[in-house]
Copies of this chain bind each other. A is one copy, B any other.
Amino acid sequence: MPLITFKSLNKSVNIAPGNNLLKAAQKAKIVLDSPCGGEGVCGKCLIRIVDGDVDSDCLGIISEEAIDQGYVLACKTNVLNSPITVDISEQVSGIDGTLPTEHDSIKLINHDFLPKPSQYNPIAAKLFLQVPEPKLEDGLSDLDRLTRSIHEKLEKQQVNYTLDTIRNVADTLRTDEGNVTVTMVKKVGLYDIIDIESGDHSKENFGIAIDVGTTTLAIKLVSLPDSKILATLSDYNDQITCGLDVISRINFANKPEGLSELRTRVLNTINRLIHNVCEGPAIDQKMICNCVVAGNTTMIHLLLGLNPEYIRREPYTPTVLNTPYLMAEQVGIEINPQSLIYIVPGVASYVGGDITSGLLCTDLTTHKKDISLFIDIGTNGEIVIGNSEFLMTCACSAGPAFEGGGIESGMCAAPGAIDRIEIDAKTGLASYQTIGNVRPKGICGSGMISLLANLSLTGWIDEAGKFNRSRKSQAIHMDRRNAYYTIVPAEKNQGGKSITISELNIENIMRAKAAIYSACALMLEQIGMGFNDLARIYIAGGFGRYIDLEKSIVIGLLPDLPKERFQYIGNASLVGAYMALVSKQHRQLQMDLSQRMTYVELNTNSEYMNQYVGAMFLPHTDKHRFPSVQNRLEKR
């Protein structure tokens, strides 16, 4: 089999002729950006052939100039019978191990919402016991003596043991004169003993909280006796190569072995994160006996290997919303195999446990008077409105634009992403800054908001998002009906590639912002309220360092309200999962929330389409909704 060498990464792999280079990269454990799932549509898996012959179809996506330089789509380029050397340094994201920066969102939220020490009560607790030695007279088995010792310390109720625990009991009881630590899950009327160790390990109880996002996974390793966060890590979801949004994942799951591949990929990501997060504090993965997972309904279905098809089909009924506790070894998460996994309960097919989880980071659900709004901006936008009296929720398909999907130069909020852009009102030329202050690789969600807002404020685009055809700028290139705006020209970029946004891209971003704004507006309308009646607006989502509120209002993503009413809470889902990990009361709160929320289905709501069409302008067709923006636009 020919050898494929990935030049800049110093990796190589043998693969049979006929396979494409996306597969070869996967085999070499290299993640190429491939949001369309290898369909040759998105153009993201662009790589350069340095040496060797290939059979490639460029499908008209790549310019002739690029083809001459050796650029091909990895997914549409098949290996022949000879070795190939590939350069993937031009891949816009993910190629060299750069990850979205994980900010500790716990700093963003009000610490009054965090569990108090009196509430610390994890799923599995550790209990130190001194078990008396066996005696001929008492007729007790090892298990009987152990049960008696547990009953001496705790309320007398049934004690169950896993087979693996039973297998260790005899020798462990005899290792350190009966000094043992049992790991137990307390249930109603029952203690489940899932592990036994010799000696006193009652202070060594660890847990992990996981947020499974469509694009990014994040994890916290926690020491449970004091609920201390030992480490936080995040990584791309390995499923990205199977499609960028939940609908394309559901489609992928329909392929033969598709569901199994998606499950393997998300498990690989989770287990890699667990492995890595344990390295720093040098914790043995098998010592982790607690685990909470928050994620949207589709992500949870894929993680558990459940057919997600019915999520997509009317009447949009998922298999599970409230998942029973499941054993780690059954789910495939590599911690103590007998540990129970708690999955944060969801509300509906498109409002999952990530939202139930994230709400714990706010006072939206508990405030007796104030009505607040919660917006989680991601590939799907989820919205919650209410207070302690009522809770309404809905979801809208924003599309992956804010995460860089569907935009040629788009990327996640990772180092190299342009996240702020200023436009010179006269020349129309851009100045920008990137995350990490490194060479620009692409543009992320906050960058696109910034770009759109400033193009609008400087009059280079109109309220429909179209470039002003009467003004000329070096940065704008007209091509029949489409127009392109160049943020970084190829000649000014070390890698030789320009970073450009088209009118079509702008339309995608406007669709995303319109979907979210109109969903919020509809929800308020349904309860006879306006944005002004809201006490607070919580914004969750992976915007990297921040979301630029002012610019978000300028493009009409967020309502035109004073800045102090907004609070950005970052990855609230992960912080909520952490709360559930350490506190039984917070697990119960999530359960209550999931049942209190009334779900409004927008897919079948005709009024939603009216609202959406109204929001497909900058900032909105109804100018009175955005008075401060209108004011600025009139002044330009």
Contact = CB atoms under 8 A, between A and B. Distances in A.
Given A142-B320, A163-B304, A317-B141, A310 B170 contact: yes
- Interface of chain A, helix or strand or loop or mixed? loop
A474 interface: no
A322 B136 contact: no
Interface stretch (A54-62, A100-108, A233-241, A323-331): A323-331
A166 B319 CA distance: 7
Nearest to A136: B315
A344 to B, nearest CB: 14
Interface string A283-310: 0000000000000000000001111011
Give the oligomeric copy count: 2
A352 to B, nearest CB: 11
A156 to B, nearest CB: 15
A324 B147 CA distance: 12
Interface string A424-436: 0000000000000
A318 interface: yes
A136 B167 contact: no
A136 B169 contact: no
Contact of A141 (B166, B318, B324, B601): B318
A531 interface: no
Nearest to A161: B324
B305 A144 contact: no
A257 to B, nearest CB: 15
A139 B315 CA distance: 10
A136 B601 contact: yes
B136 A604 contact: yes
A320 B166 contact: yes
A398 B143 CA distance: 28
A530 interface: no
Given A304-B163, A324-B160, A170 B135 contact: no
A391 interface: no
B601 A321 contact: no
Contacts of A305: 163, 167
Contacts of A320: 141-143, 166
A144 B306 contact: no
A103 to B, nearest CB: 33
A323 B257 CA distance: 39
A22 interface: no
A241 to B, nearest CB: 24
A70 interface: no
Contacts of A347: 139
A348 interface: yes
A315 B135 contact: yes
A317 B167 contact: no
Contacts of A189: 188-189
B306 A167 contact: yes
Nearest to A601: B136
Nearest to A318: B141
A27 to B, nearest CB: 28
Interface in A575-620: 598-599, 601, 604
Contacts of A152: none
A53 interface: no
A566 interface: no
A426 to B, nearest CB: 54
A604 B136 CA distance: 10
Given A143-B321, A174-B310, 11 more contacts: A134-B310, A139-B347, A139-B598, A140-B317, A142-B320, A143-B320, A160-B324, A163-B326, A167-B305, A167-B307, A189-B189
21 contacts: A139-B347, A139-B599, A142-B310, A142-B317, A142-B319, A142-B320, A160-B324, A163-B304, A163-B326, A163-B330, A163-B331, A166-B304, A166-B306, A166-B320, A167-B306, A167-B307, A169-B319, A170-B306, A170-B307, A170-B319, A171-B307
